[in-house]
Chains A and B, each alone.
Chain A
């Protein structure tokens, strides 16, 4: 045991003086944390929507109803509404815009207000007629005829040209168009309800937070990137260094001393575990300074990080023992780690991926690693962390056993 500490210090110094290792261990995840949190974590996404209001009154100003509709669109948080000059040719406008991004345009036609009013009267008449027919014997025949006559009178003289048609134009490959169309439909439905006098819709949606706190982008990426960088260190950087030690004779020199194989493996595991905690500390501090997120990993989170470090160090030592050459070890490590990182939901929620990939993700240890960390560090709950602990615990044990078996201490 007395040899482990000096070896651990030597390995740590050798690692921390390696610029590439330091970049991938510290700067790389910090850069990713800053970029992803800033890009995907700056509140709800906003979609730009251009509106061309062609409905003008006799005075040349937009009608009240068309203005109300535009106001209703502007009230939607997800939309950033901009106007296009009335009467302008949309095709020319779009062409002039060039490659300035996908354009979504809503066109309010001339006569919109008149059509809404006519439609509103028709709708009110239908409601009245439907109501008296449902009332049955509660309304006598005389009153019934009188009401029907009055209701019909409200629509006399209006042009029944059907509902006012608002046109929504979008590019065929605009993937956000369906979502915006849904938002528009919702606004139109609410506008219609008000138009026929329904002040309070019979059905509404009430939103509540499911979690314990308001989760933002950085909360998602902090545990995910901690898990990812522990995996990268274990599966890419460590095997490359070990293969280098084997290739250049550094390891042979060590095997000629009284150092035991188990001490060598233990020193590497301890070094990687310490590195994982150091990286966690750096990431937590950066997240706090950049995004004012206060996350203090508790004992369980630290335990999970250590289990992850042991798991990936064990497998990394296995790779480093089997593959000749640092470049080959790096390539193999990347071939294993990068697909796992992309599939496991480190960079995006699994819900955005096809169902079969979601199934694949659950088979990767890094998925359970970052899910468990999120529960413990961000949501501050132990709910559902049993499985991550079990999987990483078994993984750590398995990885250590395999690494002990394949690490050669003789006949190098």
Chain B
């Protein structure tokens, strides 16, 4: 049975995967809607990769049900594989084949798909079409992986840690490529431990901790619900203290002075804080302003009890 256009592209119910004595994921249920970017967020070992690999038909669930594009994982894996694109974590392909040869090979694995040359152009890879995979930088290797996943013109694209290990410029470039995909009607499921990536890309996100989903919602609602207060901390100069405080009080729900003499304004949301930020900048005098709180970092801190290090470890 295939999915109707309005049906969830992905739906899992009580999905569990156990390796020996270790439970990788336990009773997780979520849906991914058509044409959205959905992020599975969590620290290393939270079960993100296990979850997407079950959906990619690379792993067999211990229990529970997962459906992709209306097909049941395990029972109808070949039908699913025909319509999904996968960029695994630590993506690699044939080292001694060129970018074009690898993308062409990927195309030939599917019944239908796109012209490899067009995909290379779309991903700004034409210049490297004749370069062997082993000779590419990490960013272009990852981009080759995305090209190999897109050449089958998938309905759903799975990106497992798509920017891990990339430098900031390559990460930004990859984000731009991913954002373009939804314009073409592709649903994207990505795993990441970068909160900035979630805020930048994802429409909705599920937070995974110790194999369980602790929250799933739109990114905005997650921040709204679990992000806590948005604060502006202002270090006033002697001559503009009163003017700064008045400006803060005009928008903030509360204003107080902390132990170091800084003015702290509490806001309902980030938009109010940003408006106040603009007003404070217009006030004369030497003062510094810092916007804190209410991002996915705060959501994660609230729900997981820690922050994520650069390597994805829970701190």
Interface set of A (CB-CB < 8 Å, partner B): 2-3, 6-7, 10, 13-14, 17-18, 248-250, 252-259, 410-412
A residues less than 8 Å from B60 (CB atoms): 410-411
Cβ < 8 Å to A, chain B residues 84-109: 84, 86, 88-97, 101, 104-106, 108-109
A residues less than 8 Å from B246 (CB atoms): none
Question: Looking at chain B, what size class is its interface with the partner chain?
Answer: 20 to 34
A residues less than 8 Å from B56 (CB atoms): 256
Tell me the bound Cα distance from A410 to B89 in angstroms: 16
- Distance in angstroms from B253 CB to nearest chain A CB is 50
Q: In the complex, which of the residues B81, B89, B92 contacts A250, with contact meaning CB atoms closer than 8 Å?
A: B92
A residues less than 8 Å from B152 (CB atoms): 257
Q: Is B281 an interface residue (CB 8 A)?
A: no
Tell me the bound Cα distance from A250 to B95 in angstroms: 9
A6 close to B108 (CB less than 8 A):
yes
Known contacts A257-B81, A258-B78; is-contact A14 B94 (Cβ 8 Å):
yes
Q: Is B44 an interface residue (CB 8 A)?
A: no
Q: Interface on chain B toward A: helix, strand, loop, or mixed SS?
A: loop
A residues less than 8 Å from B58 (CB atoms): 252, 255-256, 410-412
A258 close to B109 (CB less than 8 A):
yes
B81 close to A258 (CB less than 8 A):
yes
Q: Is B59 an interface residue (CB 8 A)?
A: yes
A6 close to B105 (CB less than 8 A):
yes
Tell me the bound Cα distance from A253 to B58 in angstroms: 10
Complex interface bits, B110-151 against A, C-beta within 8 A gives 1, otherwise 0: 110000000000000000000010000000000001001000
- Distance in angstroms from A311 CB to nearest chain B CB is 26
A residues less than 8 Å from B89 (CB atoms): 249
B101 close to A13 (CB less than 8 A):
yes
Tell me the bound Cα distance from A85 to B90 in angstroms: 78
Tell me the bound Cα distance from A169 to B92 in angstroms: 69
Known contacts A258-B110, A410-B59; is-contact A17 B96 (Cβ 8 Å):
yes
Known contacts A410-B58, A410-B59, A411-B59; is-contact A256 B81 (Cβ 8 Å):
yes
Cβ < 8 Å to A, chain B residues 139-193: 145, 148, 152
What's the count of A-B pairs with C-beta under 8 Å?
75
A252 close to B109 (CB less than 8 A):
no
Known contacts A256-B58, A258-B82; is-contact A10 B105 (Cβ 8 Å):
yes
- Distance in angstroms from B187 CB to nearest chain A CB is 16
Q: In the complex, which of the residues A10, A257, A258 contacts B94, with contact meaning CB atoms closer than 8 Å?
A: A10
Tell me the bound Cα distance from A258 to B58 in angstroms: 11
B residues less than 8 Å from A252 (CB atoms): 58, 88
Interface set of B (CB-CB < 8 Å, partner A): 56-60, 78, 81-82, 84, 86, 88-97, 101, 104-106, 108-111, 132, 145, 148, 152
Tell me the bound Cα distance from A379 to B111 in angstroms: 50
A residues less than 8 Å from B97 (CB atoms): 10, 13-14, 17
Closest residue on chain A to residue B134 by CB atoms: A17
Tell me the bound Cα distance from A411 to B60 in angstroms: 7
B95 close to A253 (CB less than 8 A):
no
B residues less than 8 Å from A256 (CB atoms): 56-58, 81, 84, 86, 88
5 contacts between A and B (CB under 8 A): A6-B104, A10-B97, A17-B132, A249-B90, A250-B93
> Looking at A17, A255, A258, A411, which has the most chain B CB atoms within 10 Å of its CB?
A258
Tell me the bound Cα distance from A7 to B145 in angstroms: 17
A13 close to B108 (CB less than 8 A):
no
B residues less than 8 Å from A411 (CB atoms): 58-60
- Distance in angstroms from A178 CB to nearest chain B CB is 55
Tell me the bound Cα distance from A412 to B110 in angstroms: 21
Tell me the bound Cα distance from A21 to B74 in angstroms: 38
A259 close to B109 (CB less than 8 A):
yes
A-B contacts besides A10-B94, A258-B110, A410-B57, 11 pairs, CB < 8 Å: A7-B108, A14-B97, A249-B88, A249-B89, A250-B92, A255-B58, A256-B84, A256-B88, A257-B110, A259-B109, A410-B59
- Distance in angstroms from B76 CB to nearest chain A CB is 12
Tell me the bound Cα distance from A252 to B60 in angstroms: 14
- Distance in angstroms from A367 CB to nearest chain B CB is 34
B residues less than 8 Å from A412 (CB atoms): 58
Q: In the complex, which of the residues B90, B96, B101, B108 contacts A18, with contact meaning CB atoms closer than 8 Å?
A: B96
Closest residue on chain A to residue B110 by CB atoms: A258
A residues less than 8 Å from B88 (CB atoms): 249, 252-253, 256
A10 close to B101 (CB less than 8 A):
yes
Closest residue on chain A to residue B59 by CB atoms: A411
